[in-house]
Amino acid sequence: MLSQAPTEIPPALWKLGRLNHVAIATPDLEKSTALYRDVLGAEVSGVEALPEHGVYTVFVKLDNTKLELLHPLGDNSPIQNKNGGMHHICIEVNDIQAAMKDLTAQNIRCLSKEPKIGAHGKPVVFLHPKDCAGVLVELEEV
């Protein structure tokens, strides 16, 4: 009797990586930046305007990740939380197109049909919070 070799599981088309950042909406970007820089002693970036995303950003560098401070840029900004608070988490992926295709097939809605270039100059896509346990998830290709 011949024994059959076990069927190998094909490798995943894409891989979920590390936490890249946690984004925090803030009604006062200058005050929030000063808190992390001057009070807590963190290294912070300069303010960057991202008109395609409707936000101003400042990154707070931590040893194991980053915080992204978000402030509305214009009336059509997706940042509508006037009191501030957590906005989204960003997780790295090695192939954003494969991730989008696979997640869409699993009924996870992407908020855009194609990735956009994010604050780090890399492709990003946001996933609908109703499909992600109430959390707005950003995927960033590394």
Please report, for the domain that includes residue 95, its CATH number: 3.10.180.10
Domain-located, residue 11: no
Domain-located, residue 98: yes
**Predicted TM-score (pTM) above 0.85:** yes
If one counts the domains in the chain, the total is 1
Domain boundaries, position 51? 16-141
Q: Give pLDDT tens digits for 58-103.
A: 999 999 999 999 999 988 899 987 899 999 999 999 999 999 999 9
Please state the separation of Cα 137 from the chain's center in Å. 6
Sequence-separated (6 or more) residues with CB below 8 Å from residue 30: none
Closest Cα to residue 29, out of 67, 62, 57?
57
Which pLDDT score is estimated for 13? 80
Kindly give the pairing relationship between strand 85-93 and strand 116-117. Answer: unpaired
Sequence-separated (6 or more) residues with CB below 8 Å from residue 2: none
Domain-located, residue 23: yes
Domain-located, residue 70: yes
